[in-house]
Structure 1
Amino acid sequence: MATSFQGTTTKCTACDKTVYLVDKLTADNRVYHKACFRCHHCKGTLKLANYNSFEGVLYCRPHFDQLFKRTGSLDKSFEGTPKVVKPEKSVENEG
């Protein structure tokens, strides 16, 4: 005797465990437990109103901005703080 309940076969993208309707959160066409919807960088809990994602990886807005926008590239090298190259102050004026 097989009984089926709506949503019991849905797995969380983060932990791969069953997500039930009361704990279900959908973002970017992916399903998460509310507790698993966290920033990849700081592990802070996210809300639908304050998250960003890149290639399926979730980030809080501050870390998304810090890791991607500030560097001007979508390079996923997080080994340290993005290095900002400042131009030399001595500019030669010819003429």
Structure 2
Amino acid sequence: MPKCPKCQKEVYFAEKKSSLGKDWHPACLRCEKCNKTLTPGGHAEHGGKPYCSKPCYANLFGPEGFGRGGTSGEKGFYGKS
């Protein structure tokens, strides 16, 4: 019987949620940052761990200055910074 990647307990067929190629308990499939309950296939992944796509994944792993509440330091339109 497969084990949940979050709690390491057995996941029974009737309760499993499959995502990221693993079987999860419904209560264990949560965003690593904000703890929001996620739906299978409706989230992002980094390092084998689930994250809600917005805002957590974008804030943690998105490009600098995009979705992180800051600027990247690159010049904007027409060479202005």
The TM-score with structure 2 as length reference comes to 0.74
The alignment yields a C-alpha RMSD, in angstroms, of 2.4
Distance (whole Å) between structure 2 residues aligned to residue 21 and residue 68 of structure 1: 33
Q: Structure 1: which 5+ runs fail to align?
A: 1-8, 73-80
Query: Offset at 1:34?
Result: 0.8
Change (3 A) 1:69 1:87: closer
The TM-score with structure 1 as length reference comes to 0.64
Compare CA radii of gyration and give the structure with the larger one. 1
Q: Secondary structure at the match of 1:58?
A: strand
Query: Offset at 1:71?
Result: 2.3
What is the aligned partner in structure 2 of residue 29 from structure 1? 21
> What count of residue pairs does the alignment treat as equivalent?
74
Structure 1 residue 71 and structure 2 residue 64: aligned?
Answer: yes
Once the two structures are superposed, the pairs formed by residues 6-85 of structure 1 within 5 Å of their partners are 9-62=1-54, 63-71=56-64, 83-85=70-72
Percent identical across equivalent pairs?
29
Distance (whole Å) between structure 1 residues aligned to residue 74 and residue 47 of structure 2: 32
Change (3 A) 1:44 1:16: same
Distance (whole Å) between structure 2 residues aligned to residue 55 and residue 85 of structure 1: 24
Query: Offset at 1:31?
Result: 1.4
Report which stretch shifted further, 63-72 or 25-34.
Answer: 63-72
User: Any runs of at least 4 consecutive aligned residues in structure 1 with deviations exceeding 6 A, and if so which?
Assistant: none
